[in-house]
Amino acid sequence: MATKIQRWSTHSTDPLRGFRFQAEFQASSNSGTVFTDKITGFSGGFNSITGLTITTQNIAYREGGYNTTTHQIPGMTSFQPVAFQKGALFGNDNAIEWMRGLFAASAGDGLSTVGKDFRCNVTIYLMDHPDTNPSDIATAKMGFRIHNAWIQQLSYSDLNAGDNALLFETMTLVHEGLTIFHVDAAKATTTRDPVSTGPKGL
């Protein structure tokens, strides 16, 4: 009698590839896009995005008369700063202008490019690989939305005349929330908005 072997792995069940992603930046005060390149993200795309982490503190509580173990109660939830790294491009000063604008925001003047708000929402999409969509529209499978983010740090790689390497720019954003969602396959080719497709998770 022949034994049927079930094929567990398919395109729909394969693990998501962490190297295929894109990011979109939008002003948190309105629907306008802060950075214009919505296909590759922050004008040229990113080499890496790190820090997508949620941590909830635990509070140890000892109950009177219960001497064997302590209760563990969830406390405050914190979100790790997210670092976006890319090669420095000539003429691309979006991150510099954003950092510069913090000084104006501290003085009460706000940012000239996005009104009085120096914060933005960032949505990071993990794209399907291989791309099974026959059209030219990339298919998003999963995403992360960073809420009320603003640039805390801007750094560049070391300058070394004896090194044959690219100059990398890293901007670190602090934020107030992280939404993790899977995109509905039926809507993935028509929209990538996690609100309309229904976020799942935190």
Note the pLDDT tens digit of each residue in 138-174: 678 889 999 999 999 999 999 999 999 999 999 999 9
Q: Which domains does the chain have, with CATH numbers?
A: 21-197 (2.30.110)
The model's pTM is: 0.75
Percentage of the residues of the chain whose pLDDT score is greater than 90? 33
Residue 189 clears pLDDT 80, i.e. is over it: no
Lowest-pLDDT range, 2-6, 16-20, 117-121, 197-201?
Answer: 197-201
CB 34 within 8 A of CB 42: no
